[in-house]
Chain A
Amino acid sequence: MVRRLRPPLTEDEVRSLRAGERLYIDGEILTGRDAAHRRLCEMMDRGQKLPVQLEGAVIYYVGPCPAKPGQVIGSAGPTTSGRMDPYAPRLIARGLRAMIGKGMRSAEVVEAMKRHGAVYLVAVGGVGALLAKRIKAAEVIAFPELGPEAIYRLRVEDFPVMVGIDANGCDIYRMGREKYRRDRG
């Protein structure tokens, strides 16, 4: 039985997740990538009220394609998470509970996840057509001028992810690689 998550997430919920566990997400998540992260951090620097609620939130690192007529959203797979590493610890400190992306994270991000209770979820990179089908509604809620980099609120159903790095710092990328590595003879 695959566990399901419905945001907003609590610290206890997030701390109970284990690296390698498969999950489905149902409900509302936010999107954000490079430019939106930069804007949010600049607003924090200036002490401004943020246009999104971070407490308990899930941010999906995605810049979707525009919707074709009749579509809710265009292709929408995860982008490389590492580019958000310089910003992520500040968002985690503000209550962000989960990030969805692909690829490795920095030690600083993992440290912030352990301290505040957050989790890194991975989705399969390059299956944007498939993942778009799990997105049932999409609405731009901040920075519309950023185009694909705007912050959207998405309503998802059965959105498939795996716990990439849990709140204890266990990392499936490291574990997976060690398991299949062959040393050169």
Chain B
Amino acid sequence: MFWRSWWGKEGIGLRELHVSRVTDAVEELCKKACFELPEDVTAALQRALEEEESPQGREILKQLLENAEIARAEQIPICQDTGVAVVFLEIGQDVHLVGGSLKEAVDEGVRRGYVGGYLRKSVVRDPIRRENTQDNTPAILYTTLVPGDAVRVTVVPKGTGSENMSALKMLTPAHGPEGIRRFVVRVVEEAGANPCPPVIVGVGLGGTMDKAALMAKRALLRPVGQPHPQPHLAALEEDILKDINDLGIGPQGLGGRVTALAVHVEAYATHIGALPVAVNLQCHAARHASVAL
């Protein structure tokens, strides 16, 4: 075709990538994420073991580490709730995806990963009728366009014990950082033992309702305990973490010093009248895996 040959992929530097590469990546990442707890998470659990005063809490943390080792060695799921597959694709704007539908390619990867990896199928097709899809599809798919010619694929198998205890509130500017702190701490306090503490607390501040919720989820992908680069947000993270760990909830909610491993805040511009705050809780099995294509 004229336009293709003249403006073709070489002409403007488009890189072609077959969507089957995305399928293969998603398949592998579903399994890897469910079997192998990331090193930053195991390191955070080790630190928690040093800090925890409750003998029972320490015993639980040791079991979490032992469980992670077994799962990695035997390539079996860390937790039976292998979650809904949340897939983030960061697509370089110089990439041309060919060979079929990207959405279907991602779902095919999830299907192969969950069926072939003996992972639990935890997705129902309709929230009212609740019929299991039997292959854990569809994925929850988020795509963003970024500069460059690579595609970064991240799979987050998100269990529902912690997801169910997440919350969002539209605060107003008058609430300020104090209001944010109170709301986040209250969400963790009310969640108590249910989200499988020690948890990681993802907080999305600003934007709109939907933007805040997505930021809260993305905040969970930051290496555990790495502070926000902006000092005022890093200070807020530290302040909230201290308050959460004073709640006494502890490992598995049975009492102790370590209720949260970290608080990660992400922020974005917002309306003059708005202060959305979203809190996405993540259990100690903070599973995620990425690859660049």
Interfacial residues, chain A to chain B (CB-CB below 8 A) = 35, 62-68, 71, 74-77, 79-80, 82, 102-104, 122, 124-130, 132-133, 146-149, 162, 172-173, 175-184
Contacts and interface: CB of A to CB of B under 8 A. Distances in A.
A129 B122 CA distance: 18
Nearest to B52: A180
Contact of B254 (A65, A66, A172): A172
Contacts, number: 157
A19 B122 CA distance: 32
B54 to A, nearest CB: 6
Nearest to A172: B254
B248 A177 contact: yes
25 contacts: A65-B119, A65-B120, A71-B76, A77-B80, A80-B164, A102-B194, A103-B161, A103-B192, A103-B253, A104-B193, A104-B194, A125-B283, A126-B78, A126-B283, A127-B63, A128-B77, A128-B79, A129-B70, A130-B70, A132-B76, A148-B120, A149-B132, A176-B253, A177-B255, A182-B246
A156 B77 CA distance: 20
A74 B118 contact: yes
Most chain A CB inside 10 Å of its own CB: which residue of B56, B78, B81: B81
Interface in B73-88: 74, 76-82
B226 to A, nearest CB: 22
Contacts of B194: 80, 82, 102-104
B243 interface: yes
B284 interface: yes
B121 interface: yes
Given A79-B161, A125-B161, A125-B283, A176 B54 contact: yes
Interface in B55-75: 56, 60, 63-64, 66-67, 70-71, 74
Contact of A102 (B63, B64, B196): B196
Given A65-B82, A179-B255, A130 B120 contact: no
Nearest to B285: A126
Contact of A129 (B67, B81, B160): B67
B128 to A, nearest CB: 13
Which interface residue of A102, A126, A129, A133 has the most chain B CB atoms within 10 A? Answer: A126
B4 interface: no
Interface of B: 53-54, 56, 60, 63-64, 66-67, 70-71, 74, 76-82, 118-122, 130, 132, 134, 160-161, 164, 192-194, 196, 243, 246-250, 252-257, 283-285
A129 B71 contact: yes
B67 A173 contact: no
Contacts of B254: 122, 162, 172-173, 176
List the 6 shortest-distance A-B pairs measured between CB atoms, nearest first.
A176-B255, A181-B248, A180-B248, A127-B67, A103-B194, A182-B246
A146 B248 CA distance: 38
A87 to B, nearest CB: 15
B220 to A, nearest CB: 15
A74 B82 CA distance: 11
Contact of B255 (A75, A129, A175): A175
A147 B114 CA distance: 14
B60 to A, nearest CB: 6
Nearest to A73: B80
Nearest to B65: A127
Given A76-B80, A104-B193, A148-B120, 9 more contacts: A62-B80, A74-B76, A103-B193, A127-B67, A172-B255, A175-B255, A176-B255, A177-B255, A180-B249
B252 A102 contact: yes
A124 B57 CA distance: 11
A177 B120 CA distance: 32
A35 B248 CA distance: 33
B120 A182 contact: no
A159 to B, nearest CB: 14
A177 B190 CA distance: 12
